[in-house]
């Protein structure tokens, strides 16, 4: 199923959320059996994730686009989202980035790497970011590989921090400095 719907000519675009995206986002966010939940913080209890995602979907329907969130669009289809948040203290230049591709048909085709590259570039262009980070868990090897492809490097690892399906995994954080991005 990986990449079956992604023609090589379909560009990956980050764009503002539009009203037509809301049914798609709501469906993917609120489905307790969605495959993405196995990869995005699977150590969080499923009921908590479901409650959080329902509240988030409601928030999206009641609020307009946000400069710190974008839809990942492939060939006109909403396939996921990116987000960012400034780490404390505000104004310090540290931004943590997130990416989630809801539709598994778009996994393994480079869509995540392209979307993350666009998001890193956007973050450095439109914020005071001196450093960006990506935080994940050790079992999310696709996320770690995508970040490394773009030049992020591991900067923190908390060993055996999470339990997923009875197995212990590390917490992993990767970082990239503005000057490293610009030197690419």
Residue ranges of alpha helices (H) inside 63-163 are 111-126, 141-149
Q: Is residue 134 within 8 Å of 96, Cβ to Cβ? A: yes
Q: What angle do the packed helices 22-30 and 46-62 form, to 10 degrees?
A: 170
98-119 b/e with 16+ CB inside 10 Å = b?
bbbbbbbbbbebbbbbbbbbbb
pLDDT at 8: 52
pLDDT at 3: 42
Listed as ranges, residues in the chain with pLDDT below 50 are 1-5, 7
Q: Cα–Cα distance between 140 and 124 in angstroms, integer?
A: 25
Q: Which residues are within 8 A (CB) of 181 and not within 5 positions of it... i.e. 6 or more apart?
A: 120, 121, 124, 132, 151
Number of neighbours of residue 70 by Cβ within 10 angstroms: 23
**In which residue are the tokens 């396939």 written?**
79
pLDDT at 45: 87
Topology of the domain covering 12-183: Aminopeptidase (3.40.630)
pLDDT at 4: 41
Q: Cα–Cα distance between 153 and 101 in angstroms, integer?
A: 22
pLDDT at 5: 47
pLDDT at 149: 97
């Amino acid at each position: 199923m990986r990449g079956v719907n992604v023609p090589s000519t379909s560009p990956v675009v980050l764009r503002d959320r539009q009203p037509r995206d809301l049914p798609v986002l709501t469906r993917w966010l609120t489905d307790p059996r969605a495959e993405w939940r196995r990869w995005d913080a699977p150590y969080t209890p499923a009921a908590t994730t479901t409650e959080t995602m329902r509240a988030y979907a409601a928030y999206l329907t009641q609020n307009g686009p946000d400069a710190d969130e974008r839809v990942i669009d492939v060939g006109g289809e909403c396939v996921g989202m990116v987000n960012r948040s400034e780490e404390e203290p505000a104004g310090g230049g540290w931004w943590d980035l997130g990416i989630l591709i809801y539709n598994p048909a778009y996994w393994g085709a480079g869509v995540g790497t392209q979307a993350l590259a666009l998001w890193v570039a956007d973050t450095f262009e439109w914020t005071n970011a001196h450093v960006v980070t990506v935080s994940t868990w050790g079992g999310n090897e696709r996320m770690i590989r995508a970040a490394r492809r773009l030049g992020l490097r591991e900067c923190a690892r908390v060993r055996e921090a999470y339990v997923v399906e009875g197995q212990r995994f590390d917490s992993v954080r990767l970082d990239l400095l503005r000057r490293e991005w610009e030197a690419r």
